[in-house]
Structure 1
Amino acid sequence: MAEDLNRIDYIELNVANIEISKSFYGKAFGWSFTDYGPDYCEFSDGRLKGGFTTTAQVSAKGGPLIILFAAELEACQQKVETAGGTISNPIFSFPGGRRFHFNDPDGYEWAVWSDR
């Protein structure tokens, strides 16, 4: 079907340690996980699925910026910090809302935005 085309369907990240990634994203965002052997784990945020793999080197710099949504931005930033993320750009305003950027334990930069 045409409506099923041209959408992001799955995101895969090379990570150094799957258990550390599961712990971080589980604590920070409440994601769930399905293990598929020692080198691969699928994650689900409740809407989109992706995977963590240790089959290739981590290459955290220079890729696309993945942006998550949170209704309560300050609470989300606190969860990211508590889970072990590093805030690389604290909350700032932009036309349409506010957001912050963080680095996960492997150095990937992500952002979280809110329309509030």
Structure 2
Amino acid sequence: MYKVDFVEFPSSSATASGQFFEKAFGWAATPYGPDYADVQGEGITLGFQADVAEQPGAPLVTVRTDDLHQARLAVEDAGGVVTVEPFDFPGGRRFHFREPGGSELAVWCSTK
């Protein structure tokens, strides 16, 4: 299974971004410290990264999978290049890759 269900955005204030989407659209924001907020949108989750060292350069589309290792093999076999090795985060694990056209995306799986 592969499904786009998350997009991460750079933000100058994760708290302000989360509060904006709560107020504007009624979506629930969950802060993970001062530099990150998760916003449960309708059908997709938005992440806001305020840590400059961790921010994506552009919105980062993230694909969910049940098998991170198999997804990495599929990405590499199709000509993608892993740009960020797999790492843990609250609730899951992910890696980033660049597809042959130059866009960076990520693949994640739940650790639950």
Give the TM-score category using the shorter length: 0.3 to 0.5
Normalised by the length of structure 1, the TM-score is 0.46
Greater percentage in strand: 2
TM normalised by structure 2 equals: 0.47
